Amino acid sequence: MDGGVAGDDGELIKLDNGMIFELSGISPMVEYSPEVIVFEQIITPAEARQLGFKRDGPVAMYKLVVGEELVDAFRLR
């Protein structure tokens, strides 16, 4: 990742490969160009409805390791 991460809830980060994520549940940090590891889990429509999603198809859930912190993330692109 090129750029810094302040650790603000709702912060947007853009990875070198073009993926853009909104971070959730992150602790305050200031880190420039941290390594980011992306974990993706596809959940079924039934599981998505149980979690409050209103979609007919499967939903991709993301967790990112940003520097040394594990955070929830929503993929925007």
Residue 31 belongs to domain spanning = 4-75
Amino acid (1-letter code) at residue 62: Y
pLDDT tens, per residue, the chain with 77 residues:
656 676 666 788 889 899 999 988 777 666 667 889 999 999 999 998 898 888 788 999 999 998 888 999 999 98
Distance CA 70, CA 63 (A): 7
Cα-Cα-Cα-Cα dihedral sign, residues 2, 7, 41, 48: negative
What pLDDT sits at residue 31?
66
What pLDDT sits at residue 33?
72
Q: Of all helices (H) and strands (E), which one includes residue 52? A: none
What's the total number of domains in the chain? Answer: 1
Helix, strand, or coil (residue 45):
helix
Distance CA 38, CA 23 (A): 12
